[in-house]
């Protein structure tokens, strides 16, 4: 994966001061470029774009996970200055032209250079809605590593309030599992702990993913036994809106769209 990203690094086409892309999958029409790249980038709040490093989006046919993950990570040489810096968990991803065997298919990967993040997405058999979701999820994880202390404290306070009032549910599977882990391990769930920190971070990533996806596209939140009740979800989204207002012409809530009309 790292070798592939480095090989095509110079061929990235700029989308903005922050984003660029290269497609190694199928030829992309103007309409496809708009739908997959221009629209999701244009919908990003200015405050979010300002926090991100330079990002190149690589679109490839398929990604395959290696079964020799640990061996590959051990054998990989240390990167030289200016060369690719890949996390161990990403070193086992390969770009392939044919559909990987069952259980080996991956949808997204990430490679880091000194001054750039390369986000890689497999396009074949992935519709645009899933791609948007995975793109915003990657970006949300990057923001979670860089958000300012005041915003982090306000979000953590909101999560603590939910825990104190025994609010059930979460936004997505990862935050649901992190919440269950916290509830199993701690009787005083609002006390500072690694489990609480992990849960708050994952909750933020999942909620920010939904927030960004909702700005870009008209999406529905599926109801279910694990889903955070709508009034609490709306409160979270309102807080994120205060942190990262949407670009001019974009709406977060239905009433925002009605006001613009």
Q: pLDDT digits over 208-225, tens only?
A: 999 999 999 988 777 778
Range among 60-64, 91-95, 116-120 rated most confident:
116-120
CA distance 55 to 16: 10
Residues 216 and 43 sit within 8 Å (Cβ to Cβ): yes
Predicted pLDDT of residue 159: 98
pLDDT per residue as tens digits for the range 233-255: 999 999 999 999 999 999 888 77
pLDDT per residue as tens digits for the range 108-157: 888 888 888 999 898 888 889 999 999 999 999 999 999 999 999 999 99
Span of 23-32, 160-169, 173-182 with lowest mean pLDDT: 23-32
Tell me whether strands 54-60 and 19-23 are parallel, antiparallel or unpaired: parallel
Tell me whether strands 108-113 and 105-106 are parallel, antiparallel or unpaired: unpaired
Q: Torsion over CA of 168, 169, 171 and 174, rounded to 10 degrees? A: 130
Average pLDDT, the chain: 85
The pTM of this model reads 0.85
CA distance 131 to 137: 10
Give the residue extent of every domain in the chain: 2-144, 149-260
Residues 15 and 21 sit within 8 Å (Cβ to Cβ): yes
Residue that wins the pLDDT comparison between 14 and 85: 14
What mean pLDDT is predicted for residues 32-37?
92
């Amino acid at each position: 994966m790292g070798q592939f990203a480095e090989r095509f690094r110079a061929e990235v086409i700029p989308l903005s001061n922050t984003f660029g892309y290269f497609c190694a999958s199928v030829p992309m029409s103007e309409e496809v470029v708009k739908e997959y790249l221009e629209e999701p980038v244009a919908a990003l709040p200015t405050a979010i774009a300002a926090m991100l490093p330079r990002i190149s989006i690589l679109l490839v046919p398929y990604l395959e996970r290696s079964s020799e993950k640990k061996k590959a990570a051990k054998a990989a040489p240390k990167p030289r200055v200016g060369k690719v810096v890949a996390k161990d968990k990403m070193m086992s991803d390969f770009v392939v032209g044919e559909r990987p065997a069952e259980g080996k298919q991956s949808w997204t990967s990430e490679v880091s250079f000194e001054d750039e993040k390369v986000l890689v997405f497999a396009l074949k058999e992935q519709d645009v809605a899933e791609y948007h979701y995975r793109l915003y999820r990657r970006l949300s994880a990057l923001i979670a590593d860089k958000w300012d202390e005041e915003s982090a404290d306000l979000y953590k306070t909101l999560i603590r309030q939910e825990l104190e009032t025994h609010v059930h549910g979460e936004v997505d599977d990862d935050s649901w599992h992190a919440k269950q882990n916290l509830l199993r391990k701690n009787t005083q769930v609002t006390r500072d702990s690694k489990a609480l920190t992990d849960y708050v971070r994952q909750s933020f990533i999942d909620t920010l993913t939904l927030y960004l996806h909702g700005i870009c596209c008209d999406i529905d939140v599926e109801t279910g036994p694990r889903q955070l009740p709508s009034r609490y979800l709306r409160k979270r989204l309102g807080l994120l809106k205060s942190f990262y207002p949407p670009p001019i012409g974009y709406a977060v809530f239905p009433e925002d769209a009605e006001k613009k009309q």
